[in-house]
Amino acid sequence: MAANEKRSREAWQELDKDHHLHPFTDHKSLHKKRSRIITRAEGVYIYDADGSKILDGMSGLWCVNAGYGRQELVDAATEQLKELPYYNNFFQCAHPPSIELASLLQEISPPQFKRVFFAGSGSESNDTIVRMVRTYWDLMGQPERHTIISRHNAYHGSTVAAASLGGMKPMHRQSGLPIPGIVHVDQPYWFGSDRSLSPEEFGLAAARAIEDKINEVGAGKVAAFIGEPIQGAGGVIVPPDSYWPEVQRICDKYGILLISDEVITGFGRLGEWFGADYFGTRPDFMTFAKGVTSGYLPLGGVFVSDRVADVLIEKGGEFFHGYTYSGHPVACAVAIANIRLIQRENLVERIKIDIGPYLQEKWRALGEHALVGDTRMVGLMGAFEIVRSKDPIERFDEKQGAGVAFRDLLIEDGVCMRAVGDTIICAPPFILSHSEADELIDKTIVTLDRLQKTLTA
């Protein structure tokens, strides 16, 4: 059967249940209610097999930044498929799309980056970083410097090394992670704290937990610190302004490499090309994936600073690492077309001065709803938290599943967002118009009212 074979929704659901294991899914509960089958998409809307039109408030999975149905991305892929559908970058070969993309990435990235290493996903890219960081310190004659510090509730991917870097306890529990040499400190989550400190004081304290960890492990043993500029899958945790400058100061003080995982924040989501630009950090590595191709094809990679790349090149010999699809030509061709599109349509600037502030103001106003305890949004990356009472703040019992209930009602009302516990997260495509932003907010309010009725019924 062809991939786009037309069947009934029920037939697809049946085949899906019988043959398909899904990512991050409790299959027993899925099989009771069956999957939602998404069949097509256009602009900021996805359509399911019943023909329902749903505003995609998550850009797929934080990636379809340029929106759906962009013909030039389709054309770039088609032309490259005809010209050279595959070749590798191993064994002293390269091809124009990987070379052109590497040099284009240098133009839009901070000045310390001249070089990239390609992978197929964000997870693979973070695995690459673990290996590169440790190789760097070996080459620097400090092989004892192998420990990487990360944060609880971080998400850095799902492979063994990337999930170890992540701080998701259920993932660790399921497979004996983390691997040795990866340790975690608390995330800078002010709203989730007892709020006895001001956000600024809290941000400093959260950063200094890294310094405490460095001293606990031993400064000479710490290789790197990794963080998402704003934690995404963990619930859009926007750190207080004091946090990142202090993290940078600590990394500088101990000579520790700073890794900015830009898989979500890269390519404009915060109204700057990268989260490091937004927060003013000077990372030694940046991880990218998702938005580099607006999700049209899988591609990931690592920006490697001159500090590291020069050592790898000058002293390293062969770096025994790479993937069949490192720099896949079709994915690279789409990435080039996607970056050009973002540049030509000024989408990053648009987030900074137009649609970002427009949506942020309305998002903040959601805080007036009786169920909304906190709202936060930077660029087009936001969250609000559903609470039982606001003064004092009391949360719903976890078992009540208020967040998931909201998500399910919202999709009935025609908008897709994600629930992380009772935190609702939103990251719409960059092309969101003002009227689509109004629709997103209006439907959110309707759904909050519906949720309130069900919770108090």
Residues making contact with ligand PXG (CB under 6 A)? 61, 121-123, 126, 155-157, 228, 232-233, 261, 263-264, 289, 300, 418
The distance of closest approach from Cβ of residue 159 to ligand PXG in the complex, given in angstroms and rounded to an integer, is 7
Q: How far is CA 93 from the centre of its chain?
A: 31
205 vs 410, beta carbon nearer ligand PXG: 410
Which tokens hold the place of 69?
């149905």
Separation CA 156–CA 341 (nearest Å): 27
Residue placing its CB nearer to ligand PXG in the complex, 61 or 445: 61
Of 241, 250, 266, 225, residue with least CA distance to 113: 266
| Number of residues assigned to the chain | 457
Q: How far is the CB of 162 from ligand PXG (least distance, A)?
A: 6
Q: Quick count: other Cβ atoms within 10 Å of Cβ 220? A: 11
Minimum Å distance from CB 272 to ligand PXG? Answer: 16
Shortest reach from residue 317's CB to ligand PXG, in Å: 28
**Number of helices (H), then strands (E), in the chain:** 17, 17
Query: 131 vs 390, which CB is nearer to ligand PXG?
Result: 131
Of the pair 157, 329, the CB lying nearest ligand PXG is at 157
CB 157 within 8 A of CB 166: yes
Phi/psi-derived region of residue 195, left when phi > 0, alpha when psi is between -120 and 50, beta in every other case: left
Give 46 or 205: the residue with its C-beta nearer to ligand PXG.
46
- Residues in CB range of 159: below 8 A, 6 or more apart: 123, 124, 126, 127
Nearest by Cα to 112 from 309, 262, 297: 309
Residue placing its CB nearer to ligand PXG in the complex, 205 or 259: 259
Does the bond joining 199 to the residue before it have cis omega, within 30 degrees of 0?
Answer: no
CB atoms within 10 A of CB 21: 6
For ligand PXG, give the closer residue by CB, 95 or 156. 156
Q: Is beta strand 393-394 parallel, antiparallel or unpaired with respect to 389-390? A: antiparallel
Determine the residue with CB nearest ligand PXG.
122
Q: How far is the CB of 119 from ligand PXG (least distance, A)?
A: 9
Shortest reach from residue 297's CB to ligand PXG, in Å: 12
Least distance to ligand PXG from the beta carbon of 5, Å? 27
Show Cβ contacts of residue 454 under 8 Å, excluding neighbours closer than 6 positions. Answer: 405, 409
- Closer to ligand PXG by Cβ: residue 97 or 298: 298
To the nearest whole angstrom, how small is the minimum distance from the Cβ of residue 82 to ligand PXG? 27
